[in-house]
Amino acid sequence: MAQSGPNESMQRQACMGDAVRLCGAYIPDRNRIRDCMAAQVDQLSPSCRAVFDASVQAERSPSPRR
């Protein structure tokens, strides 16, 4: 969730309510919010979970080599 741009905007829209509801104590620390949400992924709304899962997969996939 640290990247900026259209993906971040989608994440914010999909996950703002969940972030406040589940991890509000960690606002504004993005890293702690991400960790908190990862620990509670089963409680995320379906739209947030979809965006969150996609973000986690993107972080885990290896970077293309040059």
Residue 13 and residue 50 in contact, taking contact as beta carbons nearer than 8 Å: no
Task: List per-block mean pLDDT (blocks of 10 residues) for the chain, which spans 66 residues.
Answer: 60 90 94 92 92 72 64
Question: Whole-angstrom Cα distance, residue 18 to residue 3?
Answer: 19
Supply the Cα-derived Rg of the chain in whole angstroms: 12
φ, ψ of residue 29 in degrees (nearest 5): -75, 100
Q: What is the pLDDT of residue 19?
A: 93
Q: What is the pLDDT of residue 2?
A: 46
Question: Whole-angstrom Cα distance, residue 60 to residue 17?
Answer: 25
